[in-house]
Amino acid sequence: MKNEIKIFYSKDWVDYELLDTGEGKKLERFGPYTFIRPYEDAVWSKTLTKEVQKTWKNADGKFWNSKEGAKRGWKITNKIKPKWEMFYKGIKFLASPTPFRHLGFFPEQASHWDFIEKVIKEEKSAKGGQVKFLNLFGYTGVASLFALRAGAEVTHLDASKQTLNWAKENQKLNAELAEAPMRIIEDDAIKFLEREEKRGNKYDCVIMDPPKFGRGPKGEVWKIEEMLPKLLSRVKKVLSDKPLFIILTSYATDSLSLSLGYALADALKDFGGKVEQGELCILEKSNNRMIPLANTALWFKS
């Protein structure tokens, strides 16, 4: 693999905008609402134009972290719906402020959604047959919906029952996908992969966004620095003979995209292919600059 850092981003957002960043925060528009969330890497000043400053002041909600001397959590300043529909390239999904500062999806991952749909469609067009897609730590399932629309058989896994219910809601929002083949499973990722290996189940595409720290449905402890090598080893054992791609994303503050790339390259060296790594970014409206929000690495057949 080459030691190159790529920028991954989508220029096709309509329902979402990163309006401004600065002083440890980011200002975003999710559909009709604006929110302020922590962004510790923003070690620069906010934009000083009157229009942008007014938007900061009149945001519909702000997430406070404990470092700011206030009770951690959301302060909603204007009336908003508990959940509202969002839209990206024909796929609908619900947004809502969660206790973990997120709003139900990660807009910087849109470039991955584009990649997933493109590669699966091309494979289906060229060869037909089944394409099996596995979404580990699948959250509310937006990536799974793009794989589903491309024609894949999707297995969507998360340890949170509440999150999986949200994923089911998102599937139902898309009438053409409501009856499409998507298995939604509540389980610990490692234990699930071990059972899939024993059952002989194989996958052509895998996407995973493991947390820095978490617990499985039965209290299983997850620490990314300890568990990532084991996770990749287990993923390798459930891959088909000719897999299409593996996507690994991390929001852990001490992870690096090159490290993720090296981990993927080492785990998948027997398959050949190519590894790219870099930063998932959003184009900031106020200054027209790329703002990095996560590290990622992709393995794909070359």
Amino acid (1-letter code) at residue 212: K
Question: Where does a domain end: 95, 126, 161?
Answer: 95
| Measured distance between the N- and C-terminal CA atoms of the chain, rounded to whole angstroms | 12
Residue 224 sits in the same domain as residue 178? yes
- Per-residue pLDDT in tens (0 to 9) along the chain, 302 residues: 678 999 999 999 999 999 999 999 999 999 999 999 999 999 999 998 999 999 999 999 999 987 666 688 999 999 999 999 999 999 999 999 999 899 999 999 999 999 999 999 999 999 989 999 999 999 999 999 999 999 999 999 999 999 999 999 999 999 999 999 899 999 999 999 999 999 999 999 999 998 776 666 666 665 666 788 999 999 999 999 999 999 999 987 667 899 999 999 999 999 999 999 999 999 999 999 999 999 999 999 87
Residue 162 sits in the same domain as residue 77? no
CATH code: domain of residue 259? 3.40.50.150
Residue 121 sits in the same domain as residue 253? yes
Question: 3-state DSSP call for residue 95?
Answer: strand
Q: Which helix (H) or strand (E) holds 260?
A: helix 257-267
Residue 114 sits in the same domain as residue 19? no
CA–CA separation, 164 and 167 (whole Å): 5
CA–CA separation, 161 and 190 (whole Å): 17
Amino acid (1-letter code) at residue 2: K
Q: What is the model's pLDDT at position 48?
A: 86
What is the separation of C-alpha 241 from the centre of its chain, rounded to a whole number of angstroms? 26
Question: Where does a domain end: 95, 117, 149?
Answer: 95
Q: What is the model's pLDDT at position 252?
A: 78
- Residue 151 contacts residue 192 (beta carbons within 8 Å): no
Instruction: Assign residue 129 a region (left: φ > 0; alpha: ψ between -120 and 50; beta: otherwise).
Output: left
- Vertex 121: Cα angle to 295 and 7 (nearest 5): 20
- Say if 159 falls within a structural domain: yes
Question: Where does a domain end: 66, 95, 124?
Answer: 95
Angle subtended by helix axes 189-199 and 224-237, to nearest 10: 20
Give residue-wise pLDDT tens across range 127-171.
Answer: 989 999 999 999 999 999 999 999 999 999 999 999 999 999 999
Q: What is the model's pLDDT at position 72?
A: 87
Q: What is the model's pLDDT at position 302?
A: 78
CB-hemisphere CA count at 13 Å for 269? 6
Number of structural domains found in the chain: 2
Residue 207 sits in the same domain as residue 175? yes
Amino acid (1-letter code) at residue 268: L
**Strand pairing report for 5-8 and 274-284:** parallel
- Residue 75 contacts residue 42 (beta carbons within 8 Å): no
CA–CA separation, 148 and 183 (whole Å): 11
- Residue 232 contacts residue 267 (beta carbons within 8 Å): yes
Domain, as residue range, for 164: 109-300
CATH code: domain of residue 36? 2.60.40.1180
Residue 188 sits in the same domain as residue 271? yes
CA–CA separation, 205 and 117 (whole Å): 11
- Residue 267 contacts residue 298 (beta carbons within 8 Å): no
CA–CA separation, 196 and 155 (whole Å): 11
Radius of gyration of the chain (CA): 19
- Residue 134 contacts residue 112 (beta carbons within 8 Å): no
Within 10 A of 129 (CB to CB), how many other CB atoms are there? Answer: 8
